[in-house]
Chain A
């Protein structure tokens, strides 16, 4: 059973602070890792993808991957109220001829003005 674990939150941070979201996964051979943002009542949208160990930065967002520890994180700098959403961690694994995503339950982030 391939699992992706996230703290469900809610995680509350003040506006302008750094929000840190964490995710662990069980499948050691997972190749690709994604962070999606989902606003209430909307569908998930991609924030970041990361494939190799280390950090990847895109604007206010930084994804960090440590395959040895089976751990991936997302940092959001200068958090804004518009960042308030549920953040889904997703991990690719192969199965029966296709690549599939396993999602965590998501962490609900609330940025307080």
Chain B
């Protein structure tokens, strides 16, 4: 595997379900990110982890819970989601510096029924 991988690629869940999204980066990077992309809206940064520590907690609903067990893996735990949470969830990684490029995974298309 190369680059940034995400699983699953598609997920359909009910509002009472609990699920997790997984991201893995094979680039030796120090920072990992979760983004949400909804139709007609800019990419929204949800969480940042740098050197495995969450450095900023955006005003994201608590029904989204991130976990970064090591520098290569990132999870997004989902519970009691709402239909408006349906979106493309993208993971990215970078070296963490001001000029460093963020590389994106293929994304997970989430549908909440």
B43, B103, B105: which has the most chain A beta carbons within 10 Å? Answer: B43
Please count the residue pairs between chain A and chain B whose beta carbons lie under 8 angstroms apart in the complex. Answer: 60
Q: Does A112 count as interface, using CB distance less than 8 angstroms?
A: no
Is B66's beta carbon under 8 Å from chain A? no
Q: Which of A51, A92, A95 contacts B56 (CB 8 A)?
A: A95
Contact A4 B103, CB 8 Å, known A98-B48, A98-B55: no
Which of chain A's residues have a CB closer than 8 A to the CB of B40? 105
Contacts of A32 in B (CB 8 A): 98-99
Contacts known (A32-B99, A34-B101, A92-B99); A42 close to B56, Cβ less than 8 A: no
Name the prevailing secondary structure of the A interface residues. strand
| Cβ-neighbour of A97 out of B43, B45, B50 (below 8 A) | B50
Let me know if A96 and B99 touch, CB within 8 A.
no
Asked whether A97 lies within 8 Å of B55 as measured between CB atoms, the reply is: yes
Asked whether A103 lies within 8 Å of B42 as measured between CB atoms, the reply is yes
Q: What is the bound-complex CA distance between A46 and B43, given in angstroms?
A: 15
Task: Please classify how large the interface on chain B is, using the bins under 10, 10 to 19, 20 to 34, 35 or more.
Answer: 20 to 34
Beta-carbon contact of B103 and A96 below 8 Å: no
A49 within 8 A of B: yes
Contact partner of B96 (CB less than 8 A), chosen from A96, A99, A103, A105, is A99
Q: In chain A, what residue has the closest Cβ to B40?
A: A105
The 5 closest A-B pairs by CB, nearest first: A103-B43, A96-B56, A43-B104, A97-B55, A98-B55
